[in-house]
């Protein structure tokens, strides 16, 4: 049974995550401070750390930094504030394996937890690469490639591409994409999704993402890059 350490001082969120993980078959332990997070993470008893950035004694970044400095490579999923792109970027640059903008649905977090634990089990780097057709995303280094050539994606473009590659052939509605990539549970009436799909097509290839009229977008597994 995988042991998951949750460092989160908000008791409501911590309980919600712990309860969900327990019913998904994991053994969660909750701590509420950066000091405890560091102490527990160091023991080597945990398979994964879910790390909040806003902890009362020190921020989550300091825990992440210390872990990586100590060459502790346990997978870390950072909980970031929805609005803070800076935090997200800092988390990934600081060695986080993934991030989860708050507020989130438990299923979204669970999918990330599963993926991280699976990647570890499979022995690292290879398993963190998503690939469909010519497009590949390295989730660890946050690098994208098309037919082996590196392509520069912004953090948001990468997150959107990741959604498509994780759900090949599925139609994803604007609402789903807004919710999972931008963390908005309402449509602010902007065309932000359409704009970013355009960016992705420009960077990854025009036929990488299909428009499904009246429904949303889809990444087809055949035809891309052919
Ligand atoms: Ca907090």
Owning domain of residue 139: 129-218
Give residues whose Cβ lies within 5 Å of ion ligand 1: 9, 52, 54
Nearest 5°: the CA angle 63, 156, 223 is 125
Q: If you measure from the C-alpha of residue 10 to the centroid of ligand 1, how many angstroms do you get, rounded to a whole number?
A: 5
Poorest-confidence range of 29-38, 113-122, 173-182? 113-122
Q: What is the CATH number of the domain that holds 57?
A: 3.40.50.2300
pLDDT at 206 > cutoff 80:
yes
Beta bridge partners of 132: 135
Q: Distance between CA 123 and CA 110 in Å, rounded?
A: 20
Shared domain for 30 and 116, answered yes or no, is yes
Within-domain flag for 158: yes
Q: If you measure from the C-alpha of residue 160 to the centroid of ligand 1, how many angstroms do you get, rounded to a whole number?
A: 26
Q: If you measure from the C-alpha of residue 96 to the centroid of ligand 1, how many angstroms do you get, rounded to a whole number?
A: 17
Q: What is the CATH number of the domain that holds 144?
A: 1.10.10.10
Instruction: Note whether 43 and 63 are within 8 A (CB).
Output: no
Model confidence at 125, pLDDT cuts 50, 70, 90, reads very low
Nearest 5°: the CA angle 210, 225, 204 is 70
DSSP secondary structure of 23-43: HTT-EEEEE-SHHHHHHHHHT
Within-domain flag for 226: no
How many independent structural domains does the chain possess?
2
Q: Distance between CA 226 and CA 223 in Å, rounded?
A: 5
Q: If you measure from the C-alpha of residue 136 to the centroid of ligand 1, how many angstroms do you get, rounded to a whole number?
A: 33
Shared domain for 36 and 100, answered yes or no, is yes
Q: Distance between CA 48 and CA 143 in Å, rounded?
A: 22
Q: What is the per-residue pLDDT across 134-186, written as a single tens digit (0 to 9) for each?
A: 999 988 788 999 998 999 999 889 999 999 998 888 899 988 898 888 877 66
Of 121, 148, 172, which marks where a domain is finished? 121
Beta bridge partners of 150: 145
For 81, the 3-state DSSP assignment is strand
| 77-91 average pLDDT score | 81
Q: If you measure from the C-alpha of residue 51 to the centroid of ligand 1, how many angstroms do you get, rounded to a whole number?
A: 9
The CA-atom distances, in angstroms, between 223 and each of 145, 206, 210, 219 are 17, 11, 10, 10
Q: What is the per-residue pLDDT across 48-65, written as a single tens digit (0 to 9) for each?
A: 999 999 999 999 999 999
Q: In what order do the strands lie in the sheet with 98-102?
A: 27-31, 3-7, 48-52, 76-81, 98-102
Within-domain flag for 67: yes
Shared domain for 109 and 163, answered yes or no, is no
């Amino acid at each position: 049974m995988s042991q998951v350490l949750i460092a989160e001082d908000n008791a409501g969120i911590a309980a919600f995550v712990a309860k969900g993980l327990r019913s998904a078959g994991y053994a969660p332990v909750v701590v509420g401070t950066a000091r405890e997070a560091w102490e527990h993470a160091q023991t080597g008893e945990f398979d994964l750390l879910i790390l909040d950035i806003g902890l009362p004694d020190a921020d989550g970044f300091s825990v992440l930094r210390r872990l990586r400095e100590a060459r502790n490579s346990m997978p870390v999923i950072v909980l970031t504030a929805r609005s803070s792109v800076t935090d997200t970027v800092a988390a990934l640059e600081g060695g986080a394996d993934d991030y989860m903008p708050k507020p989130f649905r438990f299923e979204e977090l669970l999918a990330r937890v599963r993926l991280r634990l699976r990647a570890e089990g499979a022995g690292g780097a290879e398993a963190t690469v998503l690939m469909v057709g010519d497009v590949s995303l390295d989730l660890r280094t946050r690098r994208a490639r098309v037919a082996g050539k590196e392509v520069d994606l912004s953090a948001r473009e990468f997150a959107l591409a990741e959604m498509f590659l994780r759900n090949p052939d599925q139609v994803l509605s604007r609402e789903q994409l807004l919710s999972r990539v931008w963390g908005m549970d309402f449509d602010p009436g902007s065309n932000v999704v359409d704009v970013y799909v355009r960016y992705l097509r420009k960077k990854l290839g025009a036929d990488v993402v299909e428009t499904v009229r009246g429904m949303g977008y889809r990444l087809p597994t055949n035809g891309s890059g052919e």
